[in-house]
């Protein structure tokens, strides 16, 4: 059985990152236990999030869309996952019904295996980043208009 101290630490870590993302609308792209600091003497038992160099403020609409995406991923509802990705700007244009169907099929084929493996260090050893990148590139070639969110605003050289 898990110790009460470990259970409390896991709950506090989860709460810190989910509050940051879904309530405060800050996206931290390097969230792990090493980037959290317990605040000594804080009667609320809050954590301080560190290494904010990979953290950006997002709109409330994007925070809500990310929450919906998270819930739809947990439910394995890939039709809604594609809708959520569209709301987040992952497609440069609106998808027609046949392309949306292709996007749902690809989302299920690419994402579902990673969800089934689960999380944690043992699961991470089963992931292949190069295979995932290859699958995503293949998906981008199959579904026209896939792009990182808001790339249409970033065309041209970065200065």
The better pLDDT of the pair 76, 35 is held by 76
How much is the mean pLDDT over the chain? 78
Residue 133 CB neighbours (<10 A): 10
- What is the value of pTM for the model shown? 0.69
Q: What single DSSP character describes residue 48?
A: E
> Residue 70 above 50 pLDDT?
yes
What percent of the chain shows pLDDT beyond 90? 14
Burial class (CB within 10 angstroms; exposed 0-12, middle 13-18, buried 19+) of 64: middle
């Amino acid at each position: 059985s898990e110790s009460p101290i470990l259970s409390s630490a896991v709950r506090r870590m989860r709460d810190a990152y989910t509050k940051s993302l879904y309530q405060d609308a800050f996206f931290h792209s390097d969230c792990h236990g090493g980037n959290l600091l317990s605040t000594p003497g804080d009667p609320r038992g809050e954590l301080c999030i560190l290494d904010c160099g990979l953290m950006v403020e997002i709109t409330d609409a994007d925070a809500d869309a990310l929450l919906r995406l998270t819930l739809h991923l947990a439910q394995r509802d890939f039709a809604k996952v594609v809708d959520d990705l569209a709301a987040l700007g992952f497609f440069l244009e609106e998808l027609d019904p046949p392309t949306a169907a292709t996007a749902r099929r690809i989302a299920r084929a690419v994402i579902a295996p990673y969800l089934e493996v689960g999380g944690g260090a043992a699961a991470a050893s089963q992931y292949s980043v190069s295979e995932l990148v290859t699958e995503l590139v293949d998906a981008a070639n199959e579904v026209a208009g896939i792009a990182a969110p808001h790339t249409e605003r970033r065309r041209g050289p970065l200065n």
